[in-house]
Amino acid sequence: MSLTKNDRDEAVGAHDGPDRGRADELVERLRGTPVGKSIFRSPRRITPRDRAAGHWSSFLLHIYPVKIRKKELAFKYSWYLGVVSMVLLGSLIASGVYLMFFYVPSPANAYTNIQTIQTEVPFGQYVRNVHRWSAHLMVLAVAAHMARVFYRGAYKKPREFNWVIGVVLLMLTLLMSFTGYLLPWDQLAFWAVTVGTEMAGYVPFIGDQVKEVLLGGPTVDSSTLLRFYVLHVAVLPTLIIFVLMIHLWRWRKDSMFDQQTEDGDE
Amino acid sequence: MSDLEHSTPVELSRTPNSVEGKRVLGVVPGKPAAGERKVIDPDDSVMVWPHLLVRHAVAAMVTLLTVMVIAVFFDAPLREVANPQNTPNPEKAPWYFAALQELLSMFHPLVAGILIPGAIVIGLVALPYIDNSRFIKPRHRKVAVTAFTSFMVIWIVLTLIGFMFRGPNWGWVWPWQEWHGEL
């Protein structure tokens, strides 16, 4: 998550005291103007109470709690894998939207579009690389996040359901990656998706129907490409962002409460 | 039972957002905010800004830098155009499904393709409700840790085998002799 102007302004409150510089005073004065007040709602950032109020009235900070347990700051607590996953999601959205401008999901166009992206579109190859490696890294980061949360015991009461939401997010991440895999329409994409979707055919009794819904036909073809594209750029991103918001909301709520443990001090 | 219901007024005043002894927002005195919970000790907590956010910003920048550097040195693969008539050998699923594909070569498709992945998902979802003791440290919940660690080791090994050690007709290859892994 990158720093915003609002964040930097909040920072001024962090080093209050006798050494408040002229920059601090200037920011303070700007926040105190009618316009500043209308934006920040809480102009003063001197006492902890001011700072908490400023935090609550900032949209960009509202996904964070105001205070957090000290031990959660340490690298070893989370390895920051949740943040890493979220940043990779951001990188995927940014690079993905750029690629969408140059891509048509049809067997006649898809492959040549990718070639054009790589050879003619400004930074096309680079943006595609960023998208590809971010996707692989996100699968790794989300899986590692799950493992870290497991060993940390962070799924324990009262956070059980947030773990379940996390499992849903892992599934969505895999689906995002898998649907995107088909889009270049090269041999790698085509056959990886053929193998991957063959498993759906093994569902008892309704296997063929499941496969048909997934592929839009008995084999991977133009309707599969269109389906995967719509899932990849519209349905799954919307779902993942929605579920992620619930995940973060619950994280914030729970971060204000200690887990009730019986194994003494850590 | 909630600790809060039996707390003294002094403990109740130690709500998480209290500053200078006053609650800032949204906590009803005498009641836990939601369910059965224990509030954090104000002495043990720090302001998220700047302490946590600075660390998150650094983590974010390191992540972005890593991706951007990898993207400079390694191009995303693009093979020949898709050809339904020309099946490559080996035919490989994406690497995160390599363990499933490896299982598929060992068991009946119903077992490897449906029952095992289904059991994994159900197991993961049920985990916090099965391992529901109040113990957090790994050494106090050996069964859960052993089960999860074994699953993870098996899964990683199967993924590596499916990704790197399988060649034509899903036969065994040594990755330093023939490379068939695709990203």
Q: Are residues B36 and B51 in the same domain?
A: no
Question: Pairing mode, if any, of strands A67-69 and B38-39?
Answer: unpaired
Tell me if A80 sits within 8 A of A91, measured CB to CB: no
Cα(B88)–Cα(A254) distance, integer angstroms: 50
User: Best mutation site among A150, A220, A222 for testing chain B: the one with the most B CBs within 10 Å?
Assistant: A150
Torsion of CA A50, A56, A58, A59, to 10 degrees: 180
Binary contact (A191, B88; C-beta < 8 A)? yes
Q: Is residue B67 part of a domain?
A: yes
Q: Is residue B180 part of a domain?
A: no
* Residue-by-residue pLDDT tens, chain A, 266 positions: 344 444 444 444 444 445 567 887 888 888 888 998 888 877 677 777 888 888 888 888 888 888 888 888 899 999 999 999 999 999 999 999 999 999 999 999 999 999 999 999 999 999 999 999 999 999 999 999 999 999 999 999 889 999 999 999 999 999 999 999 999 999 999 999 999 888 888 888 888 888 899 899 889 999 999 999 999 999 999 999 999 999 999 999 888 777 767 776 54
Tell me if B121 sits within 8 A of A167, measured CB to CB: yes
Q: List all residues of chain B from 32 to 51 with a beta carbon under 8 Å from chain A.
A: 33-42, 44-51
Residue A67 has phi, psi (to 5 degrees) of: -130, 160
Binary contact (B79, A84; C-beta < 8 A)? no
Q: Are residues B60 and B20 in the same domain?
A: no
Task: Look up the domain containing B25 and give its range.
Answer: 1-40
From the number of C-beta atoms within 10 Å of its C-beta (0-12, 13-18, 19+), residue A22 rates as exposed
Q: Are residues B105 and B60 in the same domain?
A: no
By the CB < 8 Å criterion, does B115 face chain A?
no
Tell me if B48 sits within 8 A of A68, measured CB to CB: yes
Binary contact (A61, B49; C-beta < 8 A)? yes
Instruction: Determine the average pLDDT of the residues in B174-178.
Output: 93
Long-range contacts of A85-89 (CB under 8 A, 24+ apart): A85/A138, A85/A141, A85/A142, A85/A145, A85/A173, A86/A1, A86/A244, A87/A1, A87/B59, A87/B60, A87/B63, A87/B64, A88/A134, A88/A137, A88/A138, A88/A141, A88/B63, A88/B67, A89/A138, A89/A240, A89/A244
What is residue B105's DSSP assignment?
T
| Domains of chain A by start residue, with CATH | 5-56 (no CATH), 71-255 (1.20.810.10)
Q: Are residues B142 and B165 in the same domain?
A: yes
Alpha helix locations (H) across chain A? Answer: 5-12, 22-32, 34-40, 48-56, 75-78, 81-100, 110-119, 124-152, 160-182, 187-198, 207-215, 222-230, 236-255
Q: For residue range B16-56, what is the model confidence (pLDDT) as tens digits? A: 555 555 555 555 555 555 555 566 677 788 888 888 999 99
Q: Are residues B33 and B57 in the same domain?
A: no
Binary contact (B134, A3; C-beta < 8 A)? no
Binary contact (A163, B66; C-beta < 8 A)? no
Residues of B in contact with A253 (CB under 8 A): 33-34
By the CB < 8 Å criterion, does B88 face chain A?
yes
Residues of A in contact with B135 (CB under 8 A): 153, 261-263
**Shortest Cα distance, chain A CAs vs residue B44, angstroms:** 6
Nearest C-alpha neighbor of A127 from the set B104, B68, B183, B90: B68
Residues of A in contact with B46 (CB under 8 A): 67-68, 70, 73
Cα(A72)–Cα(B46) distance, integer angstroms: 10
Q: For residue range A210-229, what is the model confidence (pLDDT) as tens digits? A: 889 989 988 999 999 999 99
What is residue B19's DSSP assignment?
B
Length of chain B: 183
Binary contact (A137, B101; C-beta < 8 A)? no
Cα(B13)–Cα(B8) distance, integer angstroms: 9
CATH number at residue B102: 1.10.287
Nearest C-alpha neighbor of A200 from the set B93, B179, B173: B93
Q: Is residue B176 part of a domain?
A: no
Binary contact (A185, B81; C-beta < 8 A)? yes
pTM of the model: 0.85
Q: Are residues B110 and B144 in the same domain?
A: yes
Binary contact (A67, B16; C-beta < 8 A)? yes
ipTM over 0.90: no
Q: Are residues B66 and B110 in the same domain?
A: no
Q: Is residue B129 part of a domain?
A: yes
Cα(A133)–Cα(B74) distance, integer angstroms: 9
Residue A253: what pLDDT? 87
Residues of B in contact with A188 (CB under 8 A): 77-79, 182
User: Best mutation site among B36, B63, B68, B72 for testing chain A: the one with the most A CBs within 10 Å?
Assistant: B63
Residues of B in contact with A163 (CB under 8 A): 127-128
